[in-house]
Every structure is written in structure tokens, then in C-alpha cells.
Structure 1
């Protein structure tokens, strides 16, 4: 399911809703524990998990290049928001009878040629996130990313 992208007064919000057949605790660990996190988003490394804390973005370029991302908001087992480029990304988890709901929102100040790449990247990362929850690990599926990239290009062209 494609993210919903809404125009706001000062930019855009992309929202991905993913029902998960797993507990909030298990989803939270997959979101925040480096041994799990790096299986679905290999660039990220949690350094200091708290509001005002730090996540490191590793370039994975073989030279050890990285930069720090600030954690903008945080509530244990529930909410994590951090910088993402000129905008931010947030993850919210809420319990459901049969697991939990993961809502990923990305604030995008302005659309660019990079926006559909970013949106399709998050889309595929959420597929990988679900696989990690199931105990399955996969390499980044570039072919799958390309398929979603085309769909996000079309979606953004309608805005």
C-alpha cells in the first residue's frame, strides 16, 4: 500500500500505516535496537535513545563516513521522531488486539527529484522491517525499490 501524501501549509506529510501481527514491544525493539535496526535500515545506528539524543547515519561507503541525526521527540515503546534531511521522520506504535499498528510519517518541506526515491526507500524499508519481525533478513531489494519508485513518481505528479 502506497503512502498517503498530503499537502500542508508548510510542506508535505507522507504517511505509511502498517498493521503488524507483533507486539508493540517487539516492534519497538526492531525500531530501536541496533542489532535489529541495521537489518532493515543498515545506515542507522542508535547512539543515545532519548529526546535530544543521537542517531548516527553511516554512509556505508567503506571510509567510515557518517553524520549525527538529532532525536526530536521520544516516548519509550510508543514514539520516535528524528531529523531527516531538511524535514523529519516519526514512528508511532499503538497496540491492537492482534498486534500493533506502526505509523511512519515523514515531513517533507518541498518536493524534489529526490522525494520519490526517499518515499520508495521508506516503503521498501518497511517491507524489510516486517521481515525482521518474522525472523527473516534480506538484502535491500533494488528491483522492488524500482517498482515502488515508479508508483511514487506517479503519485507525486498528481499533487
Structure 2
């Protein structure tokens, strides 16, 4: 399911909606427990899980290099928001009759050439998260699938820029 991009006054908001047939507890665990988190987003490592806590974005380049990211909002089993470059990424989780819904929101100050790459990356990561919940672990990042979604998001960003 493709994300949506809405133009705001001086920015944009990207929204991914992922209905999941898993409980809030199960989804929260894959968002916040490093052993599970790193199976769908291997760069992230939770260091201090709380508002104003820390996450490491590991470079995974053979060194121990990482960037420290601040958790900007946190409500257990409901909200996890953290810095993402100049912007933030926010996960909102709520129960449904058939499981839960995970919403990823990314406010973007400026659309750039990198934006569709980032959005395709989040799309794939959310697919990997869903697969993990369903019992499938991917050993490698699915680059071909990413390329397909990159083309879709490039078109979406181009369309939004025309508005």
C-alpha cells in the first residue's frame, strides 16, 4: 500500500497506514525490542526507550560508527517518535477488531531527490516488519523490490511537487 503525501503550509506530511493482524503487544515488540527491531531495520538500536531517550543509527560499515538519535515522543505501546535527519519519524499504534494498525508519519520540510529513496526504504522496512510478524525473516534487504517502490515514490513525489 503506497504512502500518501499531503502538502502542508510550508512542509509535507507522509503517512503510511499498515493494518496488521497482530496485537498491539506483538507489534510494539518488533518496534522496540532490539532483537526483533534489527530484523526489519538493522541500522536501529534502542539504547534508552523513553521520551528524550536515545537510539543509535548504526552505520553497519564494519566500524562501530553510529549517529545518536533522540526519541522525541514516547507513549508505551502507542507512540514512538524519533529524529530522522532534519525531520522526525513517528510510529502510532492502536488496536483494531482484527489486530492493530500501525501508522508511520514523516513530516518533511523539503522534498529533495533523496525523498523517494527514503520513502521506498520505509515502505520496504514496513513490509519486512509485517513479514517478521508473520514468521518470515529476510536475510538481505530486497533491493529489487526497493527499486520497484522507488519508481512509484518518485512518481508520487513528482506529482505532489506539481501541486
Other-structure match for 2:2: 2
**Partners in 2 of 1:94 and 1:14 — Cα distance?**
18
Other-structure match for 1:11: 11
Other-structure match for 2:72: 72
1:107 Cα shift? Answer: 1.1
Gaps of 5+ in 2: none
Structure 1 outlier segments of 4+, above 6 Å: none
**Partners in 1 of 2:10 and 2:85 — Cα distance?**
15
Other-structure match for 1:85: 85
Is 2:27 the partner of 1:27? yes
Within 5 Å, give how 1:1-159 maps onto structure 2.
1-138=1-138, 139-159=140-160
Question: What do the CA deviations read for 1:14-33 (whole angstroms, capped 9, x no partner)?
Answer: 00000000000000000000
**Partners in 2 of 1:10 and 1:23 — Cα distance?**
36
Gaps of 5+ in 1: none
1:135 Cα shift? Answer: 1.7
Question: What do the CA deviations read for 1:67-94 (whole angstroms, capped 9, x no partner)?
Answer: 1000000000110100001000000010
1:10 Cα shift? Answer: 2.6
**Partners in 2 of 1:107 and 1:64 — Cα distance?**
29
**Partners in 1 of 2:88 and 2:120 — Cα distance?**
16
**Partners in 1 of 2:159 and 2:98 — Cα distance?**
35
| TM-score calculated relative to the size of structure 2 | 0.96
1:136 Cα shift? Answer: 1.0
**Structure 2 counterpart SS, 1:40:** coil
